[in-house]
Amino acid sequence: MPSTFPAAVTERTRRLQTRLCVGLDPRADAYRDVAHLRAHTLDVLEATAPLAACVKPQLAFFEALGLPGFTLLEEVCAAARTLGLPVILDGKRGDIGSTAEAYARGWLTGTHAGDALTVNPFLGFGTLTPFVEAARANGGGVFVLVKTSNPDQADLQGQGVSERVAVEVARLGAGEEGEYASIGAVVGATHPRDLATFRALMPRALLLLPGLGAQGAAAADLAPAFHAGGMGALASASRAVQYADGLDVGASREAARRLRDELNGALG
């Protein structure tokens, strides 16, 4: 695997011709017990890995399980790396000073760290610094929340705020080498009319596009987020893959295959 997250996920996208990010949201109420949850989550990961550019565990569902959840997260990260699958931890972390430094150290270094982490800039741009520094030091990446997929994002992200964050994302990554910078952006797939704007504002940022499937976003609408050749963005689906048909792992695999093919078809 290439030495940095942006290089690794871009190489995998080209080699396997997949722009799909498989989200893992292991919901405790869907299983008999933690052992059942663990087995199904790891089975879905293995079954969908050949169809995915990366995997995105949602930290909230692992944290809700307590210590067994952290143990499982380490297993998921180790299994993903064995499969050659880059890991984006979806934690939306953001805080000030030493607390931000601790979050960065906890989620971008160590055994349960991801290759990349989603981060929240809305306490001020200075709060991004520890995450950016940790990602660069470890060959990782961060995805800064720019315009999230939920309908009420406009309460705080409207009136040009998202565009202002996008400009900062571009500034942070401007001096880096490589095809894509370590600082990427979260832009909801549920905002198809805005994708071209954010692609233009952040030309060297990888875009993470959540909301495919269960939140109603369609692969056919996402082409403006990509560069020529279908590069530069990752479309994420979680419930639509992991629980495509209850706990049927075969259905999860077929859902991932369908979404991969729909994304490729949208890109011509």
**Catalytic residue IDs:** 92
For 236, other C-beta atoms within 10 Å of its C-beta total: 32
Residue 220 near residue 258 (C-beta atoms within 8 A): no
**Residue type present at position 155:** D
Instruction: Give me the phi and psi of 125, to 5 degrees please.
Output: -65, -30
Bridge partner list, 208: 186, 234
Q: DSSP assignment of 126-192, as one string?
A: GGGHHHHHHHHHTT-EEEEEEE-SSGGGHHHHTTTHHHHHHHHHHHHHTT--SSS-SEEEEE-TT-G
Q: Which of 196, 231, 218 is nearest to 262 (CA)?
A: 218
Bridge partner list, 247: none
* Pairing outcome for strands 54-57 and 88-93: unpaired
Q: How far is it, in rounded angstroms, from Cα 197 to Cα 170? A: 13
**In the numeric block, which tokens belong to residue 91?**
């934690």
DSSP strands (E only) in the chain: 20-24, 54-57, 88-93, 116-119, 141-147, 183-187, 207-210, 233-237
